[in-house]
A = this chain, B = another copy of it.
Amino acid sequence: METEDLDRELINHLFALRDRVKAELKTVLPELGLTDAQTDALWRLSDGPEITARRLAERLQCDASTATSMVDRLEKHGLVRRIPHPSDRRVKLLQLTSQGCELRDRVIRHAVETSPFGGLDRDARLRLRSLFREAAQHEETP
């Protein structure tokens, strides 16, 4: 079936593009004192105090206990803060410190500056965005 080959090529491209971003980040992460996994976590934390540890684990697709130790390390480095939830005393909300925000922004900025889509002109990038958005819509409808 030819469609399978097409889908496989698309996935291979997807991985290759992701690899290129990862390679670019690897040139800058050591001097920021971050590992790959910590960068992943940082990327998924917003500025506000609104993400629970549970939610972070879901976003990282890891066990809750893994999120706990990840937050332990980020907290030790002064990048994240645990804040008690105002109404549910079981919950801890995770908040980036100002240092954490700054670091996260530098990481994202570098990724954008060295974007693997830089070879595409603006029109092509807009068409790509449109296709990505369409693919994203079908997230939960199989």
| A134 contacts the other chain (CB 8 A) | yes
Query: A: which residues have CB within 8 A of B?
Result: 3-4, 6-11, 13-23, 26, 43, 61, 108, 111-112, 115-120, 122, 124-129, 131-139, 141-142
In the bound complex, how far is the Cα of B6 from the Cα of A26, in angstroms? 23
- Chain B residues with CB under 8 A of A108: 8
| Cβ–Cβ contact A11 & B111, under 8 A | yes
Interface contact B61-A7, CB-CB below 8 Å: no
- Closest chain-B Cβ to A43's Cβ sits at a distance in Å of 8
Instruction: Pick 14 A–B contacts, CB within 8 A, sort by A.
Output: A6-B122, A7-B118, A10-B129, A11-B111, A11-B115, A13-B129, A14-B116, A14-B132, A17-B135, A18-B18, A120-B134, A120-B135, A124-B131, A127-B131
